[in-house]
Amino acid sequence: MQRRILITAAGAAGVLALTACGGGGGGGGGDLETRGDITIWYSNNEAEIGWGKKMVEAWNADHPDEQVKAQEIPAGASSEEVIGAAITAGNAPCLVFNTSPAAVPGFQRQGGLVDLSTFEDGDDYITARSGDLADQYRSEDGDFYQLPWKSNPVMIFYNKALFEKAGLDPENPKLSTYDEFLETARTLKEKGVSEYAINPAPTSEFFQSWFDFYPLYAAQTGGTQLLEDGRATFDDDNGKAVADFWRTLYEEKLAGNEQYQGDAFADGYAAMAIVGPWAISVYGDSIEWGAVPVPTKDGTSAGDTWTFSDAKNVGMFTACKSKGTAWDVLKFATSEEQDGEWLKATGQMPLRQDLTGTYPDYFADNPAYEQFGDQAARTVEVPNVVGSVEIWQAFRDGYSKSVIFGETPVDQFLSDTAAEVDKLASAG
């Protein structure tokens, strides 16, 4: 988890700069049927590159006149910064298979993204594939400027060996309610099996709240985003319950407020972590781990618990000369067959309806991933609004001061930050 956070942190400055960019809102244009060779970018993750190469090879074998050239996103301070610079220069690729939902409003304001809803089957294809979850990825005009692609729904990982050492049941941990979670955390601390019960990064980057407050808020509210209809939602009893829970963890030193240099879960520094299915291959057999849904105040069944998506999507860029080909490639790359290949190659969850029912053999052969496949149906995305990063930074600043460091009361944090978020959202 720490390794992933440090990589993501490099992108913070780039995303922040992009959200302030002016320009148009992207669009379709009259060249949606143009065909020819295209270029695509994907991330520098080894498993994703492996899938990408095979996907492109399969496409190219059947389309000699519409060849795809694929490469990793060029090196830079962040992928978002590189994409934004390419939009400005007019040389962005046709497709980027690593588009952060938080960056989409900025790219859109630059005039860099194609409105996928302007393709004749655009809306129908996206909604048929992703179902109701797709609506979270619509822009403020109601259209799709990103294709919902894949998610890493976060859950609570726990170290079974440390739980057993503390006298806790490693197969049936009591973690579903706030009270149970706190009692379990206190036991872990008292028995001295780890420095902290759980240790999410306490640093100030805007995205860090996606891995502490936001998953629990999604669960506590049954799927509510941080903003709805342009206004903050978290200044209520649910937001207070989540913030108070985390404040208790920090106040009792069950979580640490200083950054740990390393992977706290892998090193046994913390007995629990909030992570997605990517962690299964990272930790492998080095840790005997279990996974449960994030807690709620009074407890929620696993089948009804929501969480944060940690998604990456696909954007089509207006510099593309062959948008007809790009759209067909995008549909090919997110087809049922290719989504299955993606799942096998990466263990990340395609944003597809009935995931476990669509790929029963995969989940039967890989039971560790099954609960993440089920959880993928109940995920909350960051709000698709202009100024998204500034809004999250304002939230993180208030949260850090109040919840992590205890410098202001939780009620004051919620009301003051909600007012600031409302102001930022209205300015966008």
372-384: pLDDT as tens digits: 999 999 999 999 9
pLDDT at 285: 85
Mean pLDDT of the chain: 92
- Percent of the chain clearing pLDDT 90 (strictly above): 89
214's enclosing H/E stretch is: helix 213-221
Tell me the average pLDDT across 96-114: 94
Confidence of residue 30 (pLDDT cuts 50, 70, 90): low
Say which range, 64-78, 252-266, 399-413, has the weakest mean pLDDT: 64-78
Question: Residue 155's closest CA among 272, 17, 19?
Answer: 272
Confidence of residue 1 (pLDDT cuts 50, 70, 90): very low
Residue with tokens 């872990």: 188
pLDDT at 4: 38
pLDDT at 284: 84
Tell me the average pLDDT across 400-410: 98
Is the confidence at residue 272, as pLDDT, over 80? yes
Is the confidence at residue 353, as pLDDT, over 80? yes
Tell me the average pLDDT across 235-246: 98
pLDDT at 80: 85
Say which range, 36-40, 407-411, 424-428, has the weakest mean pLDDT: 424-428
Confidence of residue 273 (pLDDT cuts 50, 70, 90): very high
Question: Residue 307's closest CA among 172, 392, 210?
Answer: 210
pLDDT at 78: 80
Q: How many helices and strands, by DSSP H and E, does the chain display?
A: 18, 14
- From residue 375, alpha-carbon distances to 99, 218, 301, 351, 385 in Å are 22, 12, 12, 11, 25
254: Cβ contacts below 8 Å, ≥ 6 apart: 182, 185, 186, 188, 189, 196, 197, 198, 248
pLDDT at 8: 39
pLDDT at 323: 98
Is the confidence at residue 92, as pLDDT, over 60? yes
Tell me the average pLDDT across 225-236: 96
70's enclosing H/E stretch is: strand 68-72
Tell me the average pLDDT across 238-258: 98
pLDDT at 427: 86
225: three-class secondary structure by DSSP = coil
pLDDT at 411: 98
Tell me the average pLDDT across 243-248: 98
pLDDT at 365: 96
pLDDT at 44: 87
Is the confidence at residue 177, as pLDDT, over 70? yes
pLDDT at 20: 38
Tell me the average pLDDT across 67-77: 91
pLDDT at 339: 98
Between 80 and 267, the more confident residue is 267
Between 183 and 16, the more confident residue is 183
